[in-house]
Chain A
Amino acid sequence: MKVVATASIKGGVGKTATAVNLAAEATRSGIRVLLWDLDPQGSATYLLRAEHRLAGGGARDLVSGESELLGEVRATSVEGLHVLPSDTSLRYLDRHLDAAGKPRRRLGKLLAPLAPAYDLVVLDCPPGASLGIESALRATHLLLVPVVPTTLAMLTLSQLEELVAASRQGPQLLVHISMLDRRKALQRETATELATRPDVLDTVVPNTTAVERMGPERAPVRAFAPRSPATLAYEQLWAEVAERLW
């Protein structure tokens, strides 16, 4: 079982869009996928129609082992894609991790029993850098960071890189260009510059209305816009990621 996470210090860069679409693409290539929505905002859960209140004390019980991860798994509108839904109790994830001891190893430990049932776990992280994110990264094989090609985004990227480098068993970090607006010269320039880095994937996810429509449609782009450039981009992005996982 492989673990891929989408994370970035900056908010609103397309982490959830990538996580949801990547997971949906993976289900088409013979992979059993679980998306764990670690963000208390619950965008991925909403987009995949998997809302469900976690049992008992929610995140606290999950982290302590009181309730089982598998028992909280729900189906989505995508066949073959399961979700561990978000819950408002995730706001206190760091506190629960701390209480459980060895917080940085905790999420990895919780994921281990899922191995017979899933080939891939996608972690959709909230923005920022927290204990919860460190714990998630510790369990992750491949960290995918969407970067909108702006100067500010580049700055926060290096902050995340430092965080990964600091942890002993950090994941492989890969960047993909997100929400590229080709009409903006500055973005184009920054993107060209970014593309020369070895850790930047070839796929560029353009700024398109198809991705915006995921909100009202409550589905991955392929479900309602199978031929849009966004669908094609996520398909390619998945191919690039899969190649590095198996």
Chain B
Amino acid sequence: MTSVVFDVSGLPATAVEAALGAVGVTLGAPATLRRTRYDTFDARLRQRGLQLEARASADEAHALRVAGTDGPPAQLFVAMALPTDAHLRLQGLPRGPLRSRLLAAAGDRALLPQITVTATRRSATLEQDGVPRVVVHLDTDLQVDTPGAVPRVLTSGVPTAPQRRGRTAERAAERTAVTGTDTDAAPNTPTVAHTTIEVAALPGRAEEADALQRRLLAALHETTDSRDPHGPRTGDALSLASEQVGVDLRGWRGPVRPDLDRRAPALVGFRAVLRSFADALDANWQGAIDHVDDEFLHDLRIAVRQTRSLLAQGRRVLPKDVRREQREAFRWLGTVTSPARDLDVYVAGWADLTSLLDREDAQALEPVLAHLAGHRAETHSEVARSLGAPHADRLRATWRGWLELPDDEVSGGKDADDPLGEVIGARILAAQQQVLERGRSITADTPATELHELRKDGKRLRYLLEGFGHLGGGKRSKATIRHLKQLQDNLGAFQDAEVQADRLRTALHELAEAAESHADASLPAGALQAGERLATALDRRREEARAGFDARFAAYDRKPARRTLTALVERMSR
């Protein structure tokens, strides 16, 4: 059920009312209506065709409303005002279809307010024989607020770069779309509509809505002789306002993949890819500091790891001093964010972990979860302190400053001007060689650390493929990444189970010690035994993964799979 909206800000109120009267619309009494739109940082609701809104009206009614592409909108009346500047807690909503639908769509991500529009609304339902046909809303005195939290998250990145030359207009535009504000465009700030008319079609009455909309447009033209009003356009006052103030409801869609040329100088290509990683780092920076949800830190750390990996690959391409300095900086970023992420994963995966146990054991372990959750909160404060410190800002500004220098002002190592495809091709082959050699040397007695090393080798290769693989053909690249991922999943399961068991044993140990030294701290009976049973179950998981390694590696080391990779490299180096 679509609706259309007219921006009639340019018309005098009397003209608007006259036009509405001329098409038979008699408006009801005015009431203030405040609407706040929410979505996840990456617009998961929108992707599923859902629009979530909190509505507050003058009569103190608060409702959460979800409109979708099919069926009527769902409206949940709640007793308390919903936040316009903080994220919405789905867990606090009553059980039922609305909560389930939102949870299914948003997953683990927080629902952030995107924009708030307040207006005086007068509505009319056009009826025939007492049956409703079309609904019309007149919104006046529209006010738009972009809540604090969102621009903070969305615009946090991009510390003012010293120069922005060397960036294509498209990249700049894309950044604007993502960050929601465009500082460059400040002089011609868009004017926001303050009066709109919305014509909403009811099910089975689309034709009647169309007809009314046409008559209304004609009537509006008749009452004035200007070109106004603008419209009609599909949407509603809220989506129109978002567009006008530059809030992009499409959300963060990951960094824009640079348009690479395999014959371009290697240094140019490296810098372009590093810039896209820096964009992801910046986009997730503030959300990670505020711990809005776990994904911000997760995505930030992916950007850090990808950057570190590419810096490592950049010998003889990147300038020596920049490379040395930045490897140090990004190593630090990796270190300060690592404990928080580990504990995020642990806490988020707790239900899955304890599903290995019976209910009684799982309950006995509750204090362990509480202990870890406490740790986790500390580690997040630590992240906030580290990333919020001036040191971190300087670090990012330096990095961005170098990345944004025009290509002709940067000189690199001795391979800097070699064709990108050739350089990357050689790196991919070397990384693959390393994976194969280590993998083939692994036998039943090989210590676990070797498998962990192999996982790292695999990651190195994977980042190269993800960043540059498409230079050798998208299809081949995807196939190679798929092969590699199957191996990596096995190595990941192996290492994760080990880390989880270690962490569990450490936590139990800490709790037992605390119980001994403080009279007030106690560990419930059965916790230690339950913990040991869980650790044993994890050991078993680890052994299962280990037992599956040979087959997984053999699959990776098959000739056709190896050939795909060689063909990929040949293609990109040509």
Contact = CB atoms under 8 A, between A and B. Distances in A.
Given A30-B97, A116-B71, A75 B77 contact: no
B94 interface: yes
Contacts of A27: 72, 74-75
Given A75-B203, A242-B96, A32 B74 contact: yes
Contact of A81 (B72, B76, B127): B72
Interface string B59-100: 000001010101111111100000000000000011111110
B331 interface: no
A242 B94 CA distance: 11
A58 B199 CA distance: 30
B129 interface: yes
A16 interface: no
Given A30-B99, A49-B131, A246-B95, A80 B204 contact: no
Given A27-B75, A30-B75, A79-B75, A74 B96 contact: no
A71 B74 contact: no
Given A52-B204, A75-B202, A81-B72, A246 B97 contact: yes
B96 A30 contact: yes
Given A80-B74, A82-B72, A32 B203 contact: no
A129 interface: no
B456 interface: no
Contact of A29 (B70, B96, B127, B205): B96
Contacts of B203: 73-75, 82
Interface in A111-141: 116-120
Q: Among B73, B96, B125, B204, which residue has the most Cβ atoms of chain A within 10 A?
A: B204
Given A80-B73, A82-B72, A30 B98 contact: yes
A107 B99 CA distance: 28
B560 interface: no
Nearest to A45: B131
B132 interface: yes
B187 interface: no
B74 A28 contact: no
Q: Among A30, A31, A71, which residue has the most Cβ atoms of chain B within 10 A?
A: A30
Interface in A16-53: 27-33, 49-52
A30 B204 contact: no
Interface string A67-106: 0000111111101111000000000000000000000000
A218 interface: yes
A51 B75 contact: no
Interface in B84-128: 93-99, 125, 127
Nearest to B133: A75
A116 B70 contact: yes
Contacts of A72: 204
A32 B69 CA distance: 12
Contacts of A32: 71-74, 97
Nearest to B99: A30
B390 interface: no
A31 B73 contact: no
Given A49-B132, A73-B203, A30 B64 contact: yes
Q: Among B98, B130, B203, B205, which residue has the most Cβ atoms of chain A within 10 A?
A: B203
A29 B71 contact: no
Contact of A30 (B66, B125, B202): B66
Contact of B74 (A31, A116, A246): A31
B129 A31 contact: no
Contact of B76 (A28, A71, A120): A28
A116 B66 CA distance: 14
Contacts of A79: 72-73, 75
Contact of A51 (B64, B68, B73, B131): B131
Contacts of B125: 77
A28 to B, nearest CB: 5
A73 B68 CA distance: 16
Interface in B28-82: 64, 66, 68, 70-77
A28 B96 contact: no
Contacts of A81: 72
B130 A218 contact: yes
A246 B204 CA distance: 30
18 contacts: A29-B98, A30-B66, A30-B74, A30-B76, A30-B94, A31-B97, A32-B74, A49-B130, A49-B131, A74-B202, A74-B205, A75-B202, A75-B203, A75-B204, A76-B132, A80-B74, A116-B71, A119-B74
Interface of A: 27-33, 49-52, 71-77, 79-82, 116-120, 218, 242, 246
List the 8 closest pairs (A to B, CB-CB), nearest first.
Answer: A30-B98, A117-B71, A30-B76, A75-B202, A119-B97, A117-B70, A32-B71, A80-B72
Interface of B: 64, 66, 68, 70-77, 93-99, 125, 127, 129-132, 202-205
Given A30-B99, A32-B97, 20 more contacts: A28-B75, A28-B77, A29-B76, A29-B77, A31-B74, A31-B97, A32-B72, A32-B74, A33-B72, A49-B127, A52-B204, A73-B203, A75-B203, A75-B205, A77-B132, A116-B71, A118-B72, A120-B97, A242-B96, A246-B96
